[in-house]
Amino acid sequence: MFIRKTGRIVFFILTGWFGSHSFCWAQTPNQNFINQMNADYQTISSYINGQFAKSMGFYSTLGWSTPPGVFELLGSPKVEVSVGAGADIVGLSNLNSLPLQALLVSSNVSLPSIVPIPFPIATVRVGLLKGLDVGFRLTYLPQIDLSNLGLGFSANYTGWGLDFRYKIFDGLHLPTVTVGASWDTMNGTFALATNVNQNAVYTDPGTGLQYNDNLTGTNTFTQSWDVKSFGAKLMVGKDLGIIYPFAAVGFQRNSGDVSANITGSVTETVTGPLPTNTPQGSSTVSLAVGNHNAPIIFEPKYVLGFDVGEGFHWQVVGESNGTDIAGTTNFSIQF
């Protein structure tokens, strides 16, 4: 009895083993290409989203009017209203060197190695108690869709922030020193539609033989984010009359979600093995891959800029978190 039961167990194990391997052996070059294609799209999505996740906490805090001179309700000026625009630079320098097996990035995702992300900005700052003021910041891009121009691009986002500043030193001949704390949040999305047209050589992982693959269709890359950030900084500057240079250093603590998705429909055709041109299969595949990341939790914040004017002001500000570089220019009225 024991021998018969043992034999049955061995039989079922061997049957399962051979069955699973026969399934693997039964995979056609066409099916192997589809499997590897989906894995490659996932690799692309994960890489791009990882780069944006490094930037979106920093991006959500850009555009504050940052000279350390604090407004006072009982002094002059009491209020500042500012409008401007800026851009953050996100690097995708390794996109075209990803270890892909089935896809060519340049034929499937049309993103440059450096992506400038623009933003309009408006701030209002009001004096409170002596040496203390409060600021409100708004970044808003309404829904834009450039598909009618053949660019396949759409975007929209909204962000706002609140900060308090307190002046701790303001000598006649010495720099003004101010500390501040801020809360910022931003959510948004942008999408880029791409026509897929790839004709390349594909190496089947099951046999090592080479085949020719043709891939046509469309896909859409979508980047979305919902990020919140708390920050604190120390600001130093000196009013020299017509020009006011300043600098700041601080930190940010970010939270939220950053996601990337690739969707679409592509038709793939595999022929070979090379040098023959034997059809191996043709299929239409629906794409749906994605990736989620959290923004960098803690990161530094560095600011350098200057303010020019009396009453009516022009500012140029550069900001960095040690990786990204962003620039802002704005115009303000103080009264």
| More confident: 152 or 301 | 301
| Band of pLDDT at residue 312, cut at 50, 70 and 90 | very high
| Across 158-177, average pLDDT | 93
Q: What is the pLDDT of residue 146?
A: 84
Q: What is the dihedral of CA 121, 127, 133, 138, to 10 degrees?
A: -20
Q: What is the pLDDT of residue 16?
A: 44
Q: Show me where the domains of the chain are located.
A: 35-334
Q: Picking from 166-170, 171-175, 206-210, which range would have the lowest pLDDT averaged per residue?
A: 171-175
- Of residues 252, 320, 271, 265, the one with CA closest to residue 29: 271
- CA-CA distance, 330 to 121, in Å (whole number)? 8
What's the predicted TM-score (pTM) here? 0.86
- CA-CA distance, 334 to 244, in Å (whole number)? 14
The strand pairing partners of 61, in sequence order, are none
Does position 332 have pLDDT exceeding 70, yes or no? yes
| Band of pLDDT at residue 172, cut at 50, 70 and 90 | confident
| Across 161-167, average pLDDT | 97
Render pLDDT for 213-258 as a digit per residue (tens, 0 to 9).
999 999 999 999 999 999 999 999 999 988 999 999 999 999 999 9
| Across 4-9, average pLDDT | 47
- CA-CA distance, 332 to 244, in Å (whole number)? 14
| More confident: 326 or 19 | 326
Distances (CA, A) of 158 to 121, 125, 134, 182: 10, 19, 20, 17
Does position 302 have pLDDT exceeding 50, yes or no? yes
| Band of pLDDT at residue 90, cut at 50, 70 and 90 | very high
Q: Which residue has the tokens 């049309």?
A: 110
The strand pairing partners of 121, in sequence order, are 84
- CA-CA distance, 39 to 192, in Å (whole number)? 20
Render pLDDT for 91-113 as a digit per residue (tens, 0 to 9).
998 999 999 999 999 898 888 88
| Across 310-324, average pLDDT | 94
Q: What is the pLDDT of residue 149?
A: 66
Does position 17 have pLDDT exceeding 80, yes or no? no
Average predicted confidence (pLDDT) for the chain: 89
Buried b or exposed e, range 158-173, using 16+ CB within 10 angstroms? ebebebebebeeeeee
